[in-house]
Amino acid sequence: MERLKPERRGGAMNVREQSESPAQATALVLQNGEFGELERHATGVLASTGDSSYFVSLARTGSARAELARICASLGAFEWVALAYLIFSSMMIFVFSKNLAHPWKLMSVQAIVATLICMLCVAGARAEERAQHEGVKVATRFWHFWRHWYPHLFFLFCFEELGYLVHLVNPNWLDAKLMAFDHRMFGVHPAVWLEQFATPLRNDFFQLTYLTYFIYLLVLGGILYYRKEWHSYWSVMTYSVVGYAIGYLIAAVFPIESPWYAMAGMWHGELHGGPFTATINFIEHYGRVHGAAFPSQHVAGSVAALWGAWRFRRWLFWVMLPLVAAMCFSTVWGRYHYAADVFGGMVTGTLGYVIGSCIMGRRGAVSSDQCVVTRDW
């Protein structure tokens, strides 16, 4: 019985009778990436051999490769950095699993998060494809919104997860090293020394500025999103994810408890103030991540957003600069960080901008559905 072999004629792939096996013919079709030919090829094999199992295998192989290609095409630089962080941290969890109570649960959660990111990107790409042919609908807007704003949820997940990873490598707190660094640099412990200047009004002011750390990326991202400057938008998100990822990995290797815990007996009492102080005290008592203070992720995220404003909205940079400076100071005033944590956050946030700029300069840094978005919105 004659068998089929794919042959290219005039730039098109054809299937003709030759002496090669169906598997060899399929390999050539897949090698050339012409998935559209698979259906005709498989139908011919099924008609000539009656081998339905081969037909099913072929369909699965082509479908899997096509789906993998679709997933990869829907991922931008942000997703590749986020997935790289999840993979690398999962590897660290596996290597140092003896130091954790539930390592397999942590790795499973990270795998679920990675899967959700890929699914969301594919769903966004498919919604965009439908919008190109059928017009913008409610579902398109839904997927478009979450496709662009889910990074904030990813940052929150990673930060909360640090509470379980803080002793991944080292079982001991290393606050004494940063306390010594601060004392050598300033001659005092800044978090303790600042207590003499505390008043309810000042406390409330600095607690308010501390709460602003999450606003900067939202404001800058919101402006770029509204203006449909997609490459700029994803550049800012990539600066942030690179800076955060570096900080997360450092925090997992270098556990710092923060002055709130390590220096609790060195001042005269809690900071008292108005509603903002009460809000922060409530969060610190019942919702804060214990540890992971170095480098300061609040500072890193704010500095990365500040660099993004410098590059894409210079006027916003000058508005944000004094607010970010006050926020950095407030982390020490409120006893959440050592001065060394602030310096570390500035460095990782700046590294996020530098490395992120290099990544975003590469071809394919923004996926097709991230930049070729329906323009009639």
CB 320 within 8 A of CB 309: yes
Domains contained in the chain, number: 2
CA distance 336 to 191: 9
Q: Is residue 95 part of a domain?
A: yes
| Spatial distance between the Cα atoms of 54 and 49, rounded to a whole number of angstroms | 10
**Who contacts 67 (Cβ-Cβ below 8 Å, separation ≥6)?**
none
Identify whether residues 165 and 288 lie together within a single domain. Answer: yes
Note whether 136 and 234 are same-domain residues.
Answer: yes
Give pLDDT tens digits for 253-309. 999 999 988 888 888 878 888 888 888 878 777 667 788 899 999 999 999 999 999
Please report the pLDDT score of residue 80 as a whole number: 94
Q: Are residues 86 and 31 in the same domain?
A: no
- CB-neighbour burial class of residue 210 (10 A; exposed 0-12, middle 13-18, buried 19+): buried
At 271 the pLDDT is 82
For residue 376, being part of any structural domain is answered with: no
* Cβ–Cβ < 8 Å for 214, 153: no
* pTM listed for this prediction: 0.80
Q: What is the mean pLDDT of residues 218-237?
A: 95
Q: Got the DSSP string for 245-292? A: HHHHHHHHHS----HHHHTGGGSSS----SHHHHHHHHHHHHT--SS-
Give me the mean pLDDT over the 28-50 stretch.
49
Domain-embedded: residue 356 = yes
Interacting residues of 148 by C-beta distance below 8 A, sequence separation 6+? 225, 233, 370
Domain that holds residue 136: 75-371
Of 38, 69, 100, the residue that ends a domain is 69
Per-residue pLDDT tens digits for 82-124: 999 999 999 999 999 999 888 999 999 999 999 999 999 888 8
The token pair that represents 49 in the structure block: 């051999």
Q: Do 49 and 194 sit in the same domain of this protein?
A: no
